[in-house]
């Protein structure tokens, strides 16, 4: 058995690639391709690293569900004791449909609408992570009109560089996220005065795919400074939320393990006398990213003068990260074959040159062979679209030797539902 480095529970047994005890080739045959497959054990193992890090502390892991919002995935994390970080009214409905406790839901995002606020207040969510002073005013108005008070944290923009891709860096002054560090105290004073709000905590989230602990330690210093100043002003903070953002191994990346990172963070928290607070974190990618793969079939090989292309049946509508961020995903065969290999750009059928999944990959493949695109558990299916009128893929969750279909492949009828022709003239 050869485990793929950084991908627990995904391994070659002989020539064939398995996820837990299920041969991926069998799933591709049974359900067709493209197909997302997730390992339950890998998701729970990723969560366990956070739980170990928080052992003996008061803490809530709020899964940032935008990474992978499939109902069965939410159900799994709800049953494992997680809360949820949501960013829209749609996510609230989804997480409630999966059986989550609304009191463990926190609502982030820079553009919450009044309707979303009302619905979240009716549901009784745990906390609104407010991202601007104008949002404080609107939320207070909406809550007062509903006859309730809204529990709030203010998201601080600590102005630290998470050293990640610019599109997924969120904690710098030039980003749209959070309230600037120097305005935070004033925002808390305002929140404490507003009739529709109850201050409950403080929040920060500095970016995504962070592979170094240093930005977290810097952000923590900045946040703890503020906690001291806010409490000195007579405003109590019951929880401190350090956001998500921990990276995964896409291509030899070496992010700290969640428990190791938290051992470092708690050393600082304890030293500064904050170790007994209620902590929250909002991890997304690090809980699900390397627990999933996307299976695809080779349609054509197209040798060329400058490039060889391996054309597969998955595309940028299924796996948008390479096109959006030039992201790297490992690509391996479902069945290793002996024989000559060549260097290919692995591309999809969509009419865009940006529709590539991997560049300059050494593969031994023939039409009809199946491949696995790795690290496809986070920000793949959740970002999938119908571009080129392609139906979205099916999803399977594997638990030991059992494979559960958790989402059917989208049909043409699904895609056309809700559309109308113009009236006959």
Ligand X SMILES: *Cc1c(COP(=O)(O)O)cnc(C)c1O
Active site members: 351
Rg, C-alpha atoms of the chain: 23
284 binds ligand X (CB under 6 A): yes
Judged by CB under 6 A, which of 243, 348, 358, 377 binds ligand X? 243
Nearest-angstrom CA–CA distance, 150 and 127: 7
One residue of 7, 9, 66, 329 binding ligand X per CB under 6 A = 66
Q: How far is the CB of 270 from ligand X (least distance, A)?
A: 24
Give every CB contact of residue 150 below 8 A, 6+ residues apart in sequence: 117, 121, 128, 139, 140, 142, 143, 196, 197, 198
255 touching ligand X, by CB under 6 A: no
The residues near 420 (Cβ < 8 Å, ≥ 6 apart) are none
Pick the closer one to ligand X by CB: 286 or 290.
286
Give the dihedral of Cα atoms 363, 366, 368, 372; nearest 10 deg. Answer: 0
CB of 263 within 8 A of CB of 226?
no
Rounded to 10 deg, the angle between the 258-271 and 40-53 helix axes is 20
Interacting residue with ligand X among 153, 286, 290, 296 (CB under 6 A): 286
Closest approach, Cβ 168 to ligand X, in A, equals 7
Structure tokens belonging to residue 131:
């991202």
Q: Which of 6, 244, 320, 348 binds ligand X (CB under 6 A)?
A: 244
With residue 362 as reference, give the H or E element that holds it. Answer: strand 356-363
Tell me whether residue 158 or residue 283 sits nearer to ligand X (CB atom). 283
Report the C-alpha gap between 368 and 30 in whole angstroms. 15
What is the closest distance, in whole angstroms, from the C-beta atom of residue 373 to ligand X in the complex? 18
Q: Which of 245, 255, 322, 348 binds ligand X (CB under 6 A)?
A: 245
Nearer to ligand X, 20 or 282 (CB): 282
* Nearest position to ligand X, beta carbon: 284
- 3-state DSSP assignment of residue 286: helix
**Cβ at position 6, least distance to ligand X in Å:** 16
Give yes or no for residue 68 binding ligand X (CB under 6 A).
Answer: no
Residues 6+ apart with CB under 8 A from 137: 194
Total number of residues binding ligand X (CB under 6 A)? 16
Nearer to ligand X, 9 or 285 (CB): 285
| Residue owning tokens 């959070």 | 178
Site string for ligand X, 314-333 (x = CB under 6 A): --------------------
Subset of 205-224 contacting ligand X (CB under 6 A)? 205, 208
Of positions 60, 68, 70, 108, contacts ligand X by CB under 6 A: 108
> Min. distance of Cβ 345 from ligand X in angstroms?
28
Window contacting ligand X (CB under 6 A); options: 134-142, 241-249, 271-279, 295-303: 241-249
- 188 to 207, contacts with ligand X by CB under 6 A? 205
Q: Judging by DSSP bridges, how do beta strands 342-347 and 356-363 pair with one another? A: antiparallel
Q: Which is nearer to ligand X, 327 or 371 (CB)?
A: 327
Backbone angles phi, psi at 407, to 5 degrees: -150, 130
Strands (E), 20-146: 22-23, 35-39, 58-64, 83-86, 105-107, 127-130
- Give me the helices (H) in 233-296, please: 258-271, 285-288
Question: Rounded to the nearest whole angstrom, what is the least distance from the CB of residue 166 to ligand X in the complex?
Answer: 14
User: What residue ranges bind ligand X (CB under 6 A)?
Assistant: 64, 66-67, 85, 87, 108, 205, 208, 243-245, 282-286
């Amino acid at each position: 058995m050869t485990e793929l480095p950084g991908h627990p529970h995904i391994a070659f047994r002989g020539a064939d690639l398995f996820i837990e005890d299920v041969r991926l080739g069998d799933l591709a045959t049974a359900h067709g391709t493209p197909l997302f497959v997730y390992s339950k054990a890998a998701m729970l193992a990723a969560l366990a690293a956070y739980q170990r890090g928080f052992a003996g502390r008061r803490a809530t892991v709020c899964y940032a569900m935008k990474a992978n919002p499939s109902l069965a995935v939410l159900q799994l994390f709800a049953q494992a004791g997680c809360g949820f970080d949501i960013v829209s009214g749609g996510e609230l409905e989804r997480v409630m449909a999966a059986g989550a406790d609304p009191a463990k839901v926190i609502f982030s995002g820079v553009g919450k609408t009044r309707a979303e606020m009302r619905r979240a207040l009716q549901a009784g969510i745990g906390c609104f992570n407010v991202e601007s002073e104008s949002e404080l005013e609107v939320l207070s108005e909406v809550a007062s009109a509903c006859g309730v008070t809204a529990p709030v944290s203010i998201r601080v923009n600590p102005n630290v560089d998470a050293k990640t891709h610019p599109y997924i860096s969120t904690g710098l002054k030039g980003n749209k996220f959070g309230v600037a560090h120097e305005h935070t105290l004033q925002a808390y004073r305002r929140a404490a005065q507003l009739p529709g709000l109850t201050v409950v905590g403080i929040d920060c989230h500095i970016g995504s795919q962070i592979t170094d602990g240093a930005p977290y330690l810097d952000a923590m210093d900045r946040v703890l400074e503020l906690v001291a100043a806010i409490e000195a002003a007579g405003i109590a903070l019951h929880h401190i939320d350090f956001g998500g953002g921990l990276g995964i191994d896409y291509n030899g990346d070496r992010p700290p393990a969640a428990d190791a990172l938290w051992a470092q963070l708690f050393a600082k928290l304890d030293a500064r006398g904050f170790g007994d607070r209620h902590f929250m974190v909002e991890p997304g990618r690090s809980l699900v990213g390397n627990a999933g793969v996307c299976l695809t079939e080779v349609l054509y090989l197209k040798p060329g003068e400058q490039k060889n292309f391996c054309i597969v049946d998955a595309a940028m509508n299924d796996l948008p990260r390479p096109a959006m961020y030039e992201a790297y995903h490992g690509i391996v065969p479902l069945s290793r074959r002996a024989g000559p290999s060549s260097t290919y750009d692995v591309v999809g059928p969509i009419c865009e040159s940006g529709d590539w999944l991997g560049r300059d990959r050494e593969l031994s493949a023939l039409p009809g062979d199946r491949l696995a695109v790795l690290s496809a558990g986070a920000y793949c299916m959740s970002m999938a679209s119908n571009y080129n009128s392609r139906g979205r893929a099916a999803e399977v969750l594997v638990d030991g030797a059992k494979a559960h279909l958790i989402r059917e492949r989208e049909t043409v009828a699904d895609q056309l539902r809700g559309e109308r022709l113009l009236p006959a003239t």
